[in-house]
């Protein structure tokens, strides 16, 4: 079985999926000469770093976590440089059952040992994000936007010139989670509304398919806001 599925999105952008379970997160890799930017690290069930090196060659990898949930931070330990928003920092430094894989797979044989998976999440990022930071990788200049709601420290990465948004779990085509232990529905709606004002042609979503075209993305944002406001 293929463990990772790597799809080319555009020049120097790749989507990486762990073929572990159906609702796996999308991880994104941006390639530049000097370093790779990796957005999210998956569950950590398999060796992602090795896969990236084998596929793209060795280089420095900077990992940015969109937020602190198990499917986005599980592989953090494999990487030397990582960054997360201050409000989700505790998910890494003091992981609890709620943000481990075992929360998801409590009934499966795969990862039932809570203590093990909690321990395996524990890591210390090198950089704390507050929102407003900028990171240049190849032709992209991403601004870090604090877009809380799904979790307190959820961030998105936005490149204004290329109209590209990496949205993490704030926005994707599928059921959105606004009622997890640390979610805040009202913040979530605010985050979606402020994101809706931006021009986005490429939505690199945290789950499911990548969405292209401003109109499709606006439609999805409207749908998400409606869904949250109705509940
Ligand atoms: Zn997720
Ligand atoms: Zn999440």
Give me the pLDDT at residue 96, please: 75
Cα-to-centroid distance, 169 and ligand 2 (Å): 5
Give me the pLDDT at residue 110, please: 46
Cα-to-centroid distance, 145 and ligand 1 (Å): 17
Cα-to-centroid distance, 70 and ligand 2 (Å): 8
pTM of the predicted model, to two decimals? Answer: 0.93
Chain mean pLDDT for the chain: 91
- Residue 22's pLDDT band, with cuts at 50, 70 and 90, is confident
Burial of residue 87 (number of CB atoms within 10 Å: 0-12, 13-18, 19+): buried
With a cut of 60, say whether residue 104 has pLDDT above it.
Answer: no
With a cut of 60, say whether residue 2 has pLDDT above it.
Answer: yes
The pLDDT tens digits for 132-180 are 999 999 999 999 999 999 999 999 999 999 999 999 999 999 999 999 8
With a cut of 50, say whether residue 34 has pLDDT above it.
Answer: yes
Instruction: Give the domains, in start order, of the chain with CATH numbers.
Output: 4-230 (3.60.15.10)
| Mean of pLDDT values over 186-193 | 98
Cα-to-centroid distance, 35 and ligand 2 (Å): 26
With a cut of 70, say whether residue 53 has pLDDT above it.
Answer: yes
């Amino acid at each position: 079985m293929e463990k990772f599925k790597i799809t080319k999105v555009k020049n120097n952008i790749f989507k990486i999926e762990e073929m572990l379970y159906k609702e796996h997160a999308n991880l994104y890799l941006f390639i530049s000469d000097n370093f790779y930017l990796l957005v999210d690290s998956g569950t950590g069930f398999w060796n992602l770093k090795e896969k990236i090196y084998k596929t793209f060659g060795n280089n420095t990898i900077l990992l940015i976590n969109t937020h602190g949930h198990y499917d986005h931070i599980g592989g953090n330990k494999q990487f030397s440089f990582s960054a997360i928003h201050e409000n989700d920092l505790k998910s890494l430094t003091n992981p609890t059952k709620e943000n481990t894989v075992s929360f998801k797979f409590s009934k499966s044989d795969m990862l039932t040992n809570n203590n093990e998976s909690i321990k395996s999440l524990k890591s210390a990022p090198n950089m704390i994000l507050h929102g407003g930071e900028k990171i240049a990788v190849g032709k992209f200049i991403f601004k870090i936007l604090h877009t809380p709601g799904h979790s307190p420290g959820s961030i998105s990465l936005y490149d204004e010139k290329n109209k590209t948004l990496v949205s993490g779990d704030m926005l994707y085509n599928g059921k959105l989670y606004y009622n997890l232990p640390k979610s805040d529905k009202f913040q979530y709606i605010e985050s979606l509304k402020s994101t809706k004002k931006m021009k986005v042609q490429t939505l690199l979503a945290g789950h499911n398919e990548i969405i292209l075209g401003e109109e499709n993305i606006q439609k999805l944002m409207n749908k998400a806001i409606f869904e949250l406001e109705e509940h």
